[in-house]
Structure 1
Amino acid sequence: MPSAPARVVSVPVNQIREITQAAWAAPDSIVLSIGEPAFPVARHVLEAGISALDRDDTNYTPNAGIGPVRAAFAARFAHLSGVDDDPSRVFVVAGAQQGLHLALSTLISAGDEVLIPDPGYPTFTMTVGLLGGVSVPYPLVPHHGFQPRVDDLQQLVTPRTRVLMLNSPSNPLGSVFDHDLTRELVRFAHQNDLWIISDECYEAFTYDVPHVSPARFDAGGPEAVPEAVEARVITSLTLSKTYGLTGLRIGALVTPPGMETVLNNVMEATVSCVSATSQYAGLAALTGPQDYVSTALDHYRSNRDAATAVLDGLGIDYLDARGAFYLWANLSHATGGDVRTWTRTFLAERGVALAPGTAFGSMGEGWVRIALCGRTEELVEGLSRLPAPPLHD
């Protein structure tokens, strides 16, 4: 049998899926390793999808999506970012992951470099490698609150660097970029002739701090930096987390002017278009009652507070979560320098699945990501089984 290309064979295992699938196979496990919202989908969203099926609205749609859906995404983006984008620059995609693949497919060639946060979401690196690019991790470290530093980024730029990946609110960290840092990062990208792909999948969930979109500071934005002669920010949105529609696979890319034709062509060559049923359900989510979002936000905040109370009681260090629905906790006192193996052992012995920090890059060694989106009782019980540092035993 012919062998697969090296760029395919070298795509690493997603350690989040690895531990989660092991937990699903083990009866009565408490699964805190995956970001799956626990609430039922809002009824009006389900009914919109059902209505589309009832009227047999199951044909192809335009590559970029149904007009009203694109307009609804554009309206949401304008509300969140202050950037009034034309719906013609919104591309409806099969979830944020397909959107990431679509964006990178249009921006990089074999050997091109992409600056990736470390710790950062694993499919950033996986997708770059699958496309023949080179991931260059930029460090996010505890003593700087796991925030990017322009000095670190500048040292990594080479003539092959094409893209800067940003993610705020962060998965896995729960960190959020403030106004000044976001502006500084956009300015750095323009100074170095880089594209920005801004993953804003958790934009609806921040706690006592605002979400700031890099597009605010891009050309055409309300606070464009002086260096922004032409737009360079591509924004990734999704309905998976905001409305609990993880299985419907629907999101959007908000793109700069001039990319419409090439993105249409690449979309045709990958998935052609997103399911019409998912698009009509997504339209209902975007334009209908927003109770789901406010209820989810309150639940995630409450779970964050419950989880940190347990960790405080055990004396376990963690990063204060300001967004998304994850808590980043330091278990280096227990992991022996191999957190991936430790999470498997902890699952086998204590029945709790946590995502190992190395799923998100080498800087995650000794740390774990805790999902805050499930039932409070399971979250508290699972975390109560964690080993305390020696001084707190």
Structure 2
Amino acid sequence: MTRVPVRASRMSVVGTETAFEVLAEVKRLEAQGRRIYNFAIGEPDFDTPEHIKQAGIAAIRDNYTHYSPSAGIQPLREAIARVAGRLRGLRFSADEVVVTPGAKPIIYYTLLSCVDPGDEVIYPNPGFPIYESAIRLAGAVPVPLYLREHRGFVFDPDELSSRITPRTRLVILNSPHNPTGGVLSREVLAWVAQLAVEHDLWVLSDEIYSRILFDGEFVSIAALPDMRARTIVLDGFSKIYAMTGWRLGYGIMPAPVAADVARLVTNVESCTATFTQMAGIAALEGPQEPSEAMVAEFRARRDLVVELLDQVPGVRVSPPSGAFYVYPNVTEACRRVGAKDAREFASRMLHEAGVALLAGTAFGTPDPEEDQQYVRLSYAASREQLREGIARMREWVEKGGAR
């Protein structure tokens, strides 16, 4: 028998995105002829605006097909600094910007450049699952900060304070938030800023949904007093420009950190595709009406989904303020269909009713203080699909399970 070399132990701490696992199962069921309403994936269902596509095509024809500087081409970095600064009421410079293939690398590179093994990192729970995975892979200690329904899925500042120890080095924020759609107010961010300054902490502010906002105001913690020098802003093109497959994101951070992050880019991917970066310039500097129309449509869908879910027995939902997700409480609905938890509820919903959702457990460990079950529904789907899919969901729950 051939002996197989031992695999690296670090792989045991690398997580995944359940959305992609569910997507694979959706595709398998569809290949069998099943009609599946997929509300699991967090991707705009809109096409990339035409002027952006044409810019990318033109860039390839003009031979923007070679290496670029690891931090990104200067014109794109300048455009990001200008546009992102205007949104946040700040003046950034190009040397504070690092362009990456998608926004996820900024999570990893922030941890590698700002956190040592054994340091503690506070992150939102529920939250984007890659936060915890990246923290563990960096050798740091993940410290969950629970977001609870009765607080509108916004953490308690006093609870954040209680999580800070001498080993804490970084706090991760996400507003508007995935999966709940919650938005952090200026008052809450001011409290976080005070704690960050007092305890000399870094803050990674994931602002990928910053322009998909329905209620309230978007505030970046980087704009608060004394925070620019300790904040890494994460943003990108995937959501607001429907460019998920283009893989184009960026971080804005103090220039010394940007130099470190650019060095990590050199070591891992060399650079981001140059023609994609040229398309990014067109996205930022070209017409914004397609993005504005998309956000308006998401707002209408948000209202429709909340109205429809209110009619599903055993489901409780609060209107999200941003992003394109709802995070309904399905504790009573689980009891109605005999599901032990949201994971079983979502699995059976997919296979028995043909509706794909994500269980709340895909976004973190259950809150030890609240025995509640949640699912995430992405309304990045047409209104017709949302009506039909939620009607199936309602019928399935009313019948107590299998159709």
Q: What is the RMSD computed on CA atoms of the aligned residues?
A: 1.9
Paired position in structure 1 for 2:393: 386
Greater shift after overlay, 139-148 or 169-178? 139-148
Matched, 1:129 2:136: yes
Q: What is the Cα deviation at residue 212 of structure 1?
A: 0.6
Q: What is the Cα deviation at residue 391 of structure 1?
A: 10
Q: What is the Cα deviation at residue 257 of structure 1?
A: 3.5
Paired position in structure 1 for 2:329: 330
Q: What is the Cα deviation at residue 363 of structure 1?
A: 3.5
Q: What is the Cα deviation at residue 389 of structure 1?
A: 11
Letter in 2 for 1:297: V
Paired with 2:22 and 2:398, the residues of 1 have a C-alpha distance of: 29
Greater shift after overlay, 235-244 or 310-319? 310-319
Structure ranking higher on relative contact order (CA contacts 8 Å, 6+ apart): 1
Q: What is the Cα deviation at residue 344 of structure 1?
A: 1.2
Where do 1:248-327 residues align within 5 Å? 248-315=246-313, 316-327=315-326
Match among 333, 344, 348 for residue 345 of structure 1: 348
Paired with 2:173 and 2:296, the residues of 1 have a C-alpha distance of: 26
Matched, 1:368 2:375: yes
Q: Is the 8 A contact 1:7 1:130 kept in 2?
A: yes
Q: What is the Cα deviation at residue 274 of structure 1?
A: 0.4
Which blocks of at least 5 consecutive residues in structure 2 are unaligned?
A: none
* SS of residue matched to 1:330: coil
Paired with 1:255 and 1:291, the residues of 2 have a C-alpha distance of: 29
Q: Deviations over 1:220-241 (max 9, x none)?
A: xxxx15xx5x711000011000
Paired with 1:45 and 1:15, the residues of 2 have a C-alpha distance of: 30
TM-score normalised per structure 2: 0.91
Are residues 389 and 376 of structure 1, via their aligned partners in 2, closer, same or farther at CA, if it must alter by over 3 Å? Answer: closer
Are residues 156 and 389 of structure 1, via their aligned partners in 2, closer, same or farther at CA, if it must alter by over 3 Å? Answer: farther
Where do 1:209-220 residues align within 5 Å? 209-217=216-224
Q: What is the Cα deviation at residue 51 of structure 1?
A: 0.8
Paired with 2:230 and 2:290, the residues of 1 have a C-alpha distance of: 33
Q: Is the 8 A contact 1:150 1:188 kept in 2?
A: no
Q: What is the Cα deviation at residue 133 of structure 1?
A: 1.6
Q: Deviations over 1:93-148 (max 9, x none)?
A: 11111121121111122222110101111010111112222211011111211111
Paired with 1:370 and 1:169, the residues of 2 have a C-alpha distance of: 16
Q: What is the Cα deviation at residue 392 of structure 1?
A: 12
* SS of residue matched to 2:281: helix
Paired position in structure 1 for 2:240: 242
Q: What is the Cα deviation at residue 13 of structure 1?
A: 3.9
Q: Deviations over 1:165-187 (max 9, x none)?
A: 00000000101111111111111
* SS of residue matched to 1:4: coil
Q: Is the 8 A contact 1:201 1:238 kept in 2?
A: yes
Paired position in structure 2 for 1:8: 11
Paired with 1:391 and 1:166, the residues of 2 have a C-alpha distance of: 38
Matched, 1:120 2:127: yes
Are residues 388 and 135 of structure 1, via their aligned partners in 2, closer, same or farther at CA, if it must alter by over 3 Å? Answer: farther
Q: Deviations over 1:345-386 (max 9, x none)?
A: 110000010011111112476101111111111112111222
TM-score normalised per structure 1: 0.93
Match among 347, 358, 365 for residue 361 of structure 2: 358
Greater shift after overlay, 1-10 or 270-279? 1-10
Q: Deviations over 1:272-313 (max 9, x none)?
A: 110001101111101100122111111100111110111122
Paired position in structure 2 for 1:221: none
Paired with 1:2 and 1:200, the residues of 2 have a C-alpha distance of: 41
Paired with 1:13 and 1:270, the residues of 2 have a C-alpha distance of: 20
Matched, 1:204 2:211: yes
Are residues 388 and 182 of structure 1, via their aligned partners in 2, closer, same or farther at CA, if it must alter by over 3 Å? Answer: farther
* SS of residue matched to 2:328: strand
Q: Is the 8 A contact 1:139 1:363 kept in 2?
A: no
Q: Percent identity among equivalent residues? A: 33
Q: What is the Cα deviation at residue 390 of structure 1?
A: 8.9
Matched, 1:18 2:21: yes
Paired with 1:10 and 1:327, the residues of 2 have a C-alpha distance of: 28
Paired position in structure 2 for 1:108: 115
Paired with 2:375 and 2:397, the residues of 1 have a C-alpha distance of: 18
Paired position in structure 2 for 1:67: 74
Match among 159, 164, 167 for residue 160 of structure 1: 167
* SS of residue matched to 1:253: strand
* SS of residue matched to 1:319: coil
* SS of residue matched to 2:217: coil
Letter in 1 for 2:166: P
Number of aligned residue pairs: 384
Where do 1:91-106 residues align within 5 Å? 91-106=98-113
Letter in 1 for 2:349: F
Q: Is the 8 A contact 1:194 1:232 kept in 2?
A: yes
Q: What is the Cα deviation at residue 209 of structure 1?
A: 1.5
Which blocks of at least 5 consecutive residues in structure 1 are unaligned?
A: 218-223
Paired with 2:50 and 2:345, the residues of 1 have a C-alpha distance of: 41
Paired with 1:381 and 1:97, the residues of 2 have a C-alpha distance of: 33
Letter in 2 for 1:355: L
Q: Is the 8 A contact 2:66 2:274 kept in 1?
A: yes
Letter in 2 for 1:14: E
Q: Is the 8 A contact 1:95 1:249 kept in 2?
A: yes
Q: What is the Cα deviation at residue 387 of structure 1?
A: 4.5
* SS of residue matched to 1:198: strand
Letter in 2 for 1:53: I
Are residues 388 and 193 of structure 1, via their aligned partners in 2, closer, same or farther at CA, if it must alter by over 3 Å? Answer: farther
* SS of residue matched to 2:103: helix
